[in-house]
Structure 1
Amino acid sequence: MGNWLPWLSGACPSTVYSVPVQKLDEYIQTSLRPTADCQRQIDEAVDTICAALQEATEPPTVTDVAKGGSYGRKTVLKGNSDGTLVIFISDFEKFQDQKEKQYEILDKIWERLRAGQLERKLTAKMEMQRSYVGLTIRLSTRWQSVTFDVLPAFDALDLSGKPSPSTYRDLKRALDQTKANPGEFSVCFTKLQEDFFNNHPRKLKDLILLVKAWHQQCQKQWGEQSLPPSYALELLTVYAWEEGCREEDFDIVQGLRTVLELIQQQEQLCVYWTVNYNFEDETVRNVMLNQIRSSRTVILDPTDPTNMMSNDEKCWRLLKVEAQNWLLSLSLRGSPGPSWNVLPAPLHETPGHLLDKFIKDFLQPTKTVNIQIKTAVDIIAKFLKEICFRHSATKVQKPIKAGSSGKGTALRTGSDADLVVFVDSLTSFPSQKAERYNIIKEIKHQLDAHQQQVTDQDVEVTFEISKWEAPRVLSFSLKSKTLNGSVDFDVLPAFNALEKLGPLWKVYTQLIAQYEQHSDTPGGEFSACFTELQRDFVSSRPTKLKDLLRLVKHWYKQCERRLKKKGSLPPKYALELLTIYAWEQGSGDTSFDTAQGFRTVLELVTRYQQLCVFWTVNYNFENETVRNFLLKQLQRPRPVILDPADPTGDVGGGNRWCWHRLANEAAEWLSSSLCFKDGTGGPVPSWKVPTVQTPGSCGTGFGPVINEMFSYRSRGILD
C-alpha cells in the first residue's frame, strides 16, 4: 500500500493552550475544521465506494453501509482523521455470525475492492491495507485524509431503524455465548450513533473538534501512555452541552471550561443516555446497573449499554492533569463568563434508590463551600456594621443571613449569600418603601469607596446593573484574598418590624392596614421584614427534608435554564414551600423515601390549578382583621401559596407566572425520568397529599366555623 502520509499541514499548532480565548472560534474554523472542498472530495469518494459494495452481485450480499467513527459523527479534524465503514451482510442473522465469519467476509471485501478498479472513479486518492486483524481504506486529498476501518456487521435494527428491548437481550446473550469483549458488537449500532450526533447543532461539533484537538495533543505528549478514547470525550462534550446549555449558539469558552471541569471530576463521572435503551427491560436494566455501579469514570455509548468507553483510573488521571493545566493557562484563566453548571452525573437518569447518594455527592455544600459563604458574609456584615454608615446618622441594627444559606438549604454551586439589613432610619413600612433606594445607593457608594481605599486590594466588588429604576436589592459579586473565587450577594434594607411593633398580631394588622390603604402595593412588598420568621420556618426542619428541598431546587434550576426565554416561572420559594407542604401532609417522618417525596412535589406542580396552601404558625384566624384578610387571600385565583411569614405574599401568584410551563416539565419528568423507578425498575408511589389546605386542618380553634365560611366563600356564596 505504501507509506502513510505524514501529519498534514494546517491540522493543529504546537499547542492549543496558546490560542487566545477570543480567537478560539476562528481557530476552529481555520485550523480544525476541514475545508469544504476537501470534505466534498472525501464524501464523493466514500459514496462511490459504498455504492460499489452494494451493487456487487457475487456473495457476500451487502444490504447497507453505515458511516461511523469521526467521519460518521461529522467530527473530522483537519489533517488526519478516522472513520468506519460498517458493511451489513445479509448472511449475518445474529450477532454470533459476525463474530464467527468476519475475517472470511473481510477477505472477500478486500478482493472485491481490489478488482473493481475504484481508484479511477474516485475524487480522492485511495490506499488499502489488509492485515490479519482488519481492513483499512485511506482516502486522501491534498490537505485532508481519513482512514476508515472496514467492519462487517450484523444489522441489529428493525425495519424502522430502531432497536427493541429484545435486540439488547440478544446482544447480551451473544456476548455471553461467544465470550466477546463488552462493546465488541457496538458497530452493529453505527446508524444509531450517527443519528445521535446528527440531532445536535453544528456549533457543538465545533466544540467537539476543539476538545479532540486538545486530546490529540495530550496523547502526543504522553506518548505510549494510554488516554481515554476520543469518543469518550465527544460524548462528554455532548453531555455538558445538553445539561448546561442546549442553545444552538453558545459561548465556546464556557463550553470548553465546562468539559475540562467535568474531566477534573472524573472520580464522580457517570454519564449515560436512555434514548435507545432504558431500565424497563430486566436484562437491559441489569446490564446498565452493573455498568453505572462500577468504578468511575463511567461513560456509556448511547447506542450500546455494554460499551463502556473507559473506566481505567490511570488514563483519566493523566487527562485530569492536562485539563488542570489548560484551565490554569493564561489563555483560559482570565476568560470572561462562568462555565455551565453541570454535575458529573445527570439527575434525570438517576434511579430513585440512588437519589440520596446523588444529593450527598453533588448537591450538599462541601465544608469548603460553607466556610467560603460564612467568610464572605462576615466580610460584608462587618463592613455594614462598622464602616458603611460610620459618618452617617443611620446605623445598622443587625444584618440577618437570609436565603438558602440562612435556611440551611444551599446548593453546592449557584447559591447566593443574601443579607437583610435592618437600619434604624427605617421606622415603618411606608418609610421602608420611601427610603430603601437611598440606603441601597449609600451602601453601593461606600462599598465602591472602600475598595478604592484598601491598598492591598483585599476586597474587590463588581456590581450588577439593575433593570429597575429604583431597585429594592443591591446585587454584587465579592472577591477577596480570603476567598477562593467570588461570592454573589443580594443585600436588602428593611424595617425591623418584629422588634419595633410588638406582638405578631399587631405587626400583621399594621401590615394589612398598609395594603388596604395603598392598593397599588404589591403582595410581599415587605417580606424582607419577616426574614427571621421565613428562615426559622425552614431551618427547623429535619435534615432529610432540607435535602429534598435541595433536590427540588436543583430540578427547578434545570427547568429554569430550559424555559428562561419562554416566560417567567414561579419563584423558587414557591417550590420550597410546596415541598414542605408535601412532606407535612404526606409523610412527616424524619426518615422517608426521597423519590416518593420528589414525585409528590412534581405531581402537585402538575395540579397547580387546584393548589391552595397556607400555614398558621405565625398568623392565624383569631384576630378579626387578619382573619378577614386571609379569607380574601384564599379566594384568589389558583394556585395560592401563602408565605408562612407574610400573609400578603402569595408566591403561588395565580396567573402571574407561567405555572403551566413548569407543569409541562414536571409531567415530562414524571413520565420519563428514572428518578421515579426503584431498584427493580418498578414505579415509585407518591404520597397522598390534598391540593387544598383547609383552615380547620391548621389547628385553629375556629376550625368548623372557618371551614364552613371558607367553603361558602370558595363557592361564591359569601361576598
Structure 2
Amino acid sequence: MGSWFSTACPMPVNSVSAQSLDQYIQTSLRPSDDCQRRIDAAVAAICAALQYSRELPTVTGVATGGSYGRKTILRGNSHGTLVVFVSDLGQFQDLKRKNQHEILNKIFKRLKDFQLEMQLEAKMEIKGSYGGLTIQLSTERQSVTLDVLPAFDAVALSDKPSLWTYRDLKGALDMTQARPGEFSVCFTKLQQNFFNYRPRKLKDLILLVKAWYQQCQEKLRDAPLLSWYALELLAVYAWEQGCGAKQFDLVGGVRTVLELIKRPEELCVYWTVNYSFEDVTVRNVILRQIRSPRPVILDPTDPTNNVAKDKTCWQLLKEEAQLWLSSPSLKESPGPSWNVLPTPLHETPGHRLDAFIKSFLQPNQTFLEQVNSAVDIICTFFKEQCFRHSTTKVQKCVKGGSTSKGTALKTGSDADIVLFINSLRSYASQKNERSNVVKEIRKELKAFQRREARRQKFQVKFEVSKWNARRVLSFSLKSKELSDGVDFNVLPAYDALGQVQAGFRPPPRVYTELISVYKSSNIGGEFSTCFTELQRNFVVSKPTKLKDLIRLMKHWYKQCARKLKGKGSLPPKYALELLTIYAWEHGSGALDFDTAEGFQTVLELVTRYQQLCVFWTVNYNFENEVVKDLLLTQIRNTRPVILDPADPTGDVGGGNRWCWHLLAQEADEWLSSSLCFKDGTGAPVPLWKVPPMQTPGSCGVNIHPIVNEMFSLRIHGILP
C-alpha cells in the first residue's frame, strides 16, 4: 500500500460535539461512495473469478467476512476476509486434518491469472506465503486487506443451520481438540446475514465505536487487542435491547455502548437466532459458555465462540469509556442512554434476583419525579384550561397504568390519564360519544401546543391512536424541565363510581348496569376505564416486594414478546400481573418472601394455562343474583379465565383469544434451563403450592353443592 492517504481520524472521536456526530461520520469515518463502489466491484469480480473458474472446480462458493463483509469498514485502512468454500473440506474437522497449503496455492495461481486478465477500478496486490494468502485492494483514499481463508460450507444454500450442524461442530471440536470458535469461519455467510438487515444508522454507531477504539489502541499501544467483532456485536445488542428503531439519537447509542463497556464483569450477551436451547447438546454448549467468567459475548453464528475473552483489555477500556462519558461532548448533550442490561435475567441466580430488580428494573427517583411532574402539568391543563369554551367539563382526572400502581419499569415513561367527563352520563353514552370527546381534547391540546411553543416551554407531539374507534388520545410531552419525554394515553370515561374513598366497594347497581350493557354487546372489559381507581387500589395496597415481583414478571414478558414477535398475539401484561398477585396470595401472603420461589410459581402457573380459573370478590361477589349469574358464566368459560378484580365482564385470561401456548412454551423452557430457579448453592428453589383453579366454594360462597362439585371435578381434569 502506498503512503498517499492517512488512516488516522482527523480529530479525536470523544471531542466531537453531539450535534456534529452525523456529519463527522459522513466526512471522516465512512468510506467515500466512489471508493466503496470501486472496491466492491473489484471484490465481486474476484469472487466470480474464483467461483466459476475451470482451474478451481472444487470451489462451491465465496463469501466476504470480517468488517468488510459486515459493511462496517472505516475510512482509510480496513480489513476483511474472503472465505472460499471448497468441496474438499467436507466437514469441520477437515480444517484441522487436511493441509490447506495446496488449496491456497491453487487460489493464488488463479488470482495471479485473474490479475493479468482483468483491469480493475481498484489497485490489486496479492501476497502469498506458506502461512497464508492476502489480497489488498486500494483506491486513492481507501484500502481493504482481505485474508483468503478456505473453509467448509456449514450452511450451504440454507439461511439457517440445522440442529445437526451445531452437534457436528461440537463433535469436531472435541475430536480435533480445536479451540472454541476455531471453525467460526465456516459460518461467514450467517455472519453476513446477521448484519445485512441492520439499519445504516446502527452501522454508523458501530463506526463511531470502532473509531474510538482505534484511537484507544494508539494510546494503549502495549495493551492486548480486543476483537473488532466483539465491539460490533455489543453495539448491535445495545441497539436491539434499547432502541430497535431505524432512526435514533446517536448520543443515546454511544452512551449505552460505553456504559456496557464499563461493566465487563457483568457482560453476558448472546443470541438465539441461529442456534437455541432446544437441542440438549447445543443447550449444554451455550450454557457452558454463558456461565463462564464474564465478559461473554457469543458469536450469534457459533455458540462455541466467545469473542470477548481478554479481561485485561476490557479493564483498560473501562477507563477510556469513562473518559468519553465524562467529556463535554457527551456530558452536556441532551438525551439519556438506553436502558440495556449487561446481564440477562435468564442467567441471574435466584439469590441475586432482588439485586437484579433493584439495579435494572426499579425506576429511580428522578424518573418518578419526572412522570409525576408531567402528570401534574397535563392534569392541570385538563382541569383548568381544557373545555374552557364548552359545556363539557372534567369531573376528575385519575392517573392509571403501572406508574400509578407502583409497578412501572425503568425502561419507559408512560402514563395513562383517565378523564371522567360530565357529558358521558352512562356506559352507553361513553360508547357513543367518546370519539367526539377525544376530538375535542385533541383540538384543545393543539391550541395548548401552539401557546407553549410561543413560550418555548413545552412541546407536545401527537401520535396516531392505537384504536380505530378513537377511544384514546396518545401524545408525548417534552419540556426543558424534563430530561426525557413522557408518553401519555388519555382516555375519556363515564364516572360510574363517583367519589372513591379508602375501602370503597361499589354498590351492586354499578355492576348490574354494566352487565346489562355487556349482554347487549358481549364485549368484555369494554368499560374497564370506568374502574381505573379500583384497579389501581387493588395493586397499590399490595406489599412493595410483590410489586417488585410484578416488575420482574413484566420484564420477562417483554423479553418473550420481543422473541415471539410476529408469531401470535400474546395475552395482555395485566393478565400476568393479576396471576402474580394470585400466586402470592395463595402461595405466600408474606410481606417478605423468596423472589425466586414467586417467579418460579408464576411461570409454573403459566404452563398450566389450560386449567387457570382466577377471580376475586373484593369489589363484586355472588350475593347479587345478576352479578352471580354473570360470574358463574364467566368461570365456566374456556380456560384460562382471569377476571379483572374491578370489572367482572373483563376476562383478561381470554380463553382461546390469545396465544397462551407460546407464553407457556417460553415459561417451560425457562423453568428447565434458567439459573433464576437455583439458590446460591446451585440447589433448586421450591415452588409455592398454588391451585390453578378457584371454585365459588373455595371463596366461601354458598352455592348448590352439585355446582361446586362440578368446578372441583374440572380442577382434577375429570370434567372438560
TM-score with structure 1 setting the length: 0.75
Which residue is equivalent to 1:60? none
1:39 pairs with 2:43: yes
CA contact (8 A) 1:429 1:511 kept: no
Q: What secondary structure does 2:483 align onto?
A: coil
Rounded Cα–Cα distance in structure 2 between residues aligned with 1:530 and 1:466: 21
Aligned runs of 1:326-341 on 2, under 5 Å?
Answer: none
Shift, 1:76, TM fit: 5.3
Q: Shift in Å at residue 643 of structure 1?
A: 0.5
- Partner Cα distance (2:150, 2:424) in 1: 80
Give the conservation status (yes or no) of the 8 Å contact 1:695–1:703. Answer: no
Partner-residue secondary structure (3-state), 1:491: strand
Equivalent residue for 1:70, pick from 42, 67, 70: 67
Distance 2:346 2:164 in 1: 30
State whether residues 165 and 284 of structure 1, in contact with CA within 8 Å, keep that contact through their aligned partners in structure 2.
Answer: no
Distance 1:303 1:651, change over 3 A: same
Shift of 1:708: 3.8
Residue 268 of structure 2 corresponds to residue 271 of structure 1: yes
**Aligned match of 1:617:** 618
Partner residue, 1:380:
378
Q: How does 1:456-467 map to 2 (within 5 A)?
A: 456-466=455-465
- Corresponding position of 1:508: 508
Moved more, 24-33 or 618-627: 24-33
Provide closer, same or farther for how the CA distance between residues 391 and 265 of structure 1 changes in structure 2, counting only shifts above 3 A: same
Q: Residue 541 of structure 2 aligns with which residue?
A: 540
Name the CA shift for 1:199/1:36 in 2 (closer, same or farther; >3 Å). closer
Structure 2's unaligned 5+ residue stretches are: 116-122, 152-162
User: What's 1:315 paired with?
Assistant: 317
Please give the alpha-carbon distance, in whole angstroms, between the structure 2 residues aligned to 1:147 and 1:23: 22
2:644 is aligned with what amino acid? D
> Which moves more between the two structures, 543-552 or 681-690?
681-690
- Describe the shift of the 1:562–1:407 C-alpha distance in structure 2 as closer, same or farther (beyond 3 A): same
What's the CA shift for 1:272?
2.5
Matches within 5 A, 1:486-505: 486-499=485-498
CA separation in 2, counterparts of 1:569 and 1:261? Answer: 32
Is 1:525–2:526 an aligned residue pair? yes
Counterpart-to-counterpart distance in 2, 1:238 and 1:444: 38
In the alignment, the residues of structure 2 paired with residue 713 and residue 271 of structure 1 have an alpha-carbon distance, to the nearest angstrom, of 44
CA distance in 1, matches of 2:288, 2:514: 62
Cα gap change, 1:214/1:287 in structure 2, threshold over 3 Å: closer, same or farther?
closer
Provide the C-alpha distance between the structure 2 equivalents of 1:151 and 1:469, rounded to a whole number of angstroms.
56
Q: Deviations over 1:58-96 (max 9, x none)?
A: xxxxxxx998743676755676322469999x9xxxx9x
Shift of 1:344: 3.6
Aligned amino acid, residue 451 of structure 1: Q
Q: Name 1:408's counterpart in structure 2.
A: 406
Q: 2-side partners of 1:600 and 1:129: how far apart?
A: 62
Aligned mates of 2:713, 2:665 — CA distance in 1 = 32
| Contact 2:235–2:257 (CA under 8 A) maintained in structure 1 | no
2:496–2:510 contact (8 Å) kept in structure 1: no
Shift of 1:361: 2.0
Given candidates 247, 252, 256, the residue that maps to 1:262 is 256
Q: After TM superposition, give the deviation of residue 644 of structure 1 in Å.
A: 0.7
Structure 2 residue matching 1:479: 3-state secondary structure = strand
| Shift in alpha-carbon separation, 1:221–1:699, aligned structure 2, 3 A | same
Amino acid across the alignment from 1:40: A
Q: Work out the CA distance in 2 between the residues paired with 1:284 and 1:433.
A: 52
1:497–1:529 Cα contact (<8 Å) kept: yes
Query: Within 1, Cα distance between the matches of 2:320 and 2:491?
Result: 47
Q: Which amino acid counterpart does residue 509 of structure 1 have in structure 2?
A: R
Aligned pairs, how many? 667
- The corresponding residue for 2:690 is 689
Aligned to 1:214: 208
Query: Structure 1 residues 408, 109: closer, same or farther in 2, change over 3 A?
Result: same
CA RMSD of aligned residues (A): 5.4
SS of equivalent residue, structure 1 residue 224: helix
SS of match in other structure, 2:497? helix
What is the CA distance between 1:443 and its match in structure 2? 2.6
Alpha-carbon distance in structure 2 between the residues aligned to 1:560 and 1:570: 10
* Structure 1 residues 522 and 37, CA gap change in structure 2 (3 angstroms): same
**C-alpha spacing 1:426/1:194, structure 2 compared with 1 (3 Å):** same
Q: Deviations over 1:168-201 (max 9, x none)?
A: 8999x99xxxxxxxxxx56624336636524525
Q: Mark the CA change 1:465 to 1:73 in structure 2 (over 3 Å): closer, same or farther.
A: closer
> Whole-Å Cα distance in 2 between the matches of residues 546 and 573 of structure 1?
13
Aligned to 1:429: 427
Structure 2 letter corresponding to 1:466: S
SS in 2 for 1:498: coil
Q: Tell me what 2:559 maps to.
A: 558
**1:122-177 deviation per Cα after TM superposition (whole angstroms, max 9, x unaligned):** 5484454989xx87745335576543679999xxxx99565777988999x99xxx
Q: In the alignment, what sits opposite 2:247?
A: 253
Change (3 A) 1:587 1:299: same
1:282-297 paired onto structure 2 within 5 Å: 288-289=290-291, 291-292=293-294
Distance apart, 1:600 and its partner CA: 2.9
Deviations 1:340-372 (A, max 9, x none): 875443334444444333322221101111111
In structure 2, what residue type is equivalent to 1:611? L
Residue in structure 2 matched with residue 80 of structure 1 by the alignment: 77
Task: Name the counterpart of 1:177.
Answer: none
Does the CA contact (< 8 Å) of 1:291 and 1:308 recur in 2? no
Cα distance, 1:379 vs structure 2: 0.7
* Pair 1:253–1:414, CA change in 2 (3 A): same
| Per-residue deviation, 1:451 | 2.8
Following superposition, the deviation at residue 598 of structure 1 comes to: 2.7
Return the alpha-carbon distance in structure 2 between the equivalents of residues 593 and 169 of structure 1.
Answer: 40
- Identify the residue that residue 203 of structure 1 maps to in structure 2: 197
Percent sequence identity is 49
Q: For residue 154 of structure 2, what is the aligned residue in structure 1?
A: none
Amino acid corresponding to residue 460 of structure 1 in structure 2: Q
Partners of 2:714 and 2:317 in 1: CA distance: 68
CA contact (8 A) 2:138 2:144 kept: no
Of residues 629-638 and 587-596 in structure 1, the stretch that sits farther from structure 2 once superposed is: 587-596
CA distance in 1, matches of 2:316, 2:528: 53
Report what 2:471 is aligned to.
472
- Partner in structure 1 of residue 228 of structure 2: 230
The separation in 1 between residues aligned to 2:340 and 2:27, in whole angstroms, is 25
Q: Distance in 2 between matches of 1:694 and 1:231?
A: 57
> What is the deviation of 1:615?
0.9
2:76/2:143 contact within 8 Å kept: yes
2:155 maps to what in 1? none
2:497–2:510: 8 Å Cα contact kept in structure 1? no
| Worse overlay, 461-470 or 646-655 | 461-470
Q: Secondary structure at the match of 1:436?
A: helix
The code of the aligned residue for 2:513 comes to: A
Query: Cα distance 1:140–1:471, how it changes in 2: closer, same or farther (>3 A)?
Result: closer
In structure 1, the residue matched to 2:118 is none
Contact 1:231 1:309 in 2 (8 A): no
Out of 532-541 and 603-612, give the one that drifted further: 603-612
Per the alignment, in what secondary structure is the counterpart of residue 461 of structure 2? strand
Alignment-mate amino acid for residue 617 of structure 1: V
User: What letter matches 1:449 in structure 2?
Assistant: A
Cα shift readout 1:92-133 (whole Å, capped 9, x = no counterpart): xxx9xx9xxxxxx9xx979x96998777345484454989xx
Residues 618, 329 of structure 1: CA spacing in aligned structure 2 closer, same or farther, 3 A cutoff?
closer
Is the 2:230–2:307 contact (alpha carbons within 8 Å) kept by the matching residues of 1?
A: no
Match of 2:158 in 1: none
SS in 2 for 1:420: strand
How many Å separate the matches in 1 of 2:697 and 2:610? 22
Query: 1:115 & 1:594 partners in 2: Cα distance?
Result: 60
Instruction: List gaps (5 residues or longer) in structure 1.
Output: 56-64, 99-104, 175-184
Secondary structure of the 1:691 match is coil
Give the match for residue 17 of structure 1: 21
Deviation at 1:501, TM superposition (A): 10
Offset at residue 648 of structure 1 (A): 1.4
Q: Shift of the alpha carbon at 1:320?
A: 6.3
Higher deviation after alignment, 271-280 or 489-498: 271-280
Amino acid at match of 1:363: L
Alignment match, 2:112: 120
In structure 1, C-alpha distance between the alignment counterparts of 2:186 and 2:106, rounded to whole Å: 30
Q: In the alignment, which residue of structure 2 is the partner of 1:482? A: 481
1:188 alignment partner, SS class: coil
